[in-house]
């Protein structure tokens, strides 16, 4: 029984490693590129489905405060709205 459990653990670990990170939705579009550039410059990109649509406004505001603390250029109103629309459109 113990060896079966070990085998299953190894197999599942291998499958998870093969899956890799999920590609960003709408890859190649200007909005996805903005998401990758602005959000991926400080940390690994979260897939938009990592959070619910109603969570993204708070999270985006939190990230904007962190950007300001680091002296990064703020999001324009239009950029903020496009990113928020994108994140909410692909949220879980």
Read off φ and ψ for residue 8, nearest 5 degrees.
Answer: -65, -40
Give per-residue pLDDT as tens, 39-55: 998 999 999 999 999 99
Give per-residue pLDDT as tens, 65-79: 999 999 999 999 999
Is this structure's pTM higher than 0.85?
no
Give the C-alpha distances (Å, rounded to integers) separating 53 from 7, 73, 74: 38, 25, 22
């Amino acid at each position: 029984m113990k060896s079966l459990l070990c085998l299953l653990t190894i197999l599942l670990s291998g499958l998870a490693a093969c899956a890799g990170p999920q590609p960003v939705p709408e890859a190649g579009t200007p909005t996805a590129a903005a998401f990758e550039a602005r959000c991926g410059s400080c940390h690994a990109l979260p897939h938009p489905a990592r959070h619910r649509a109603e969570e993204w406004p708070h999270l985006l505001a939190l990230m904007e405060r962190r950007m300001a603390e680091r002296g990064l250029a703020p999001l324009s109103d239009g950029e903020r709205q496009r990113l928020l629309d994108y994140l909410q459109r692909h949220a879980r």
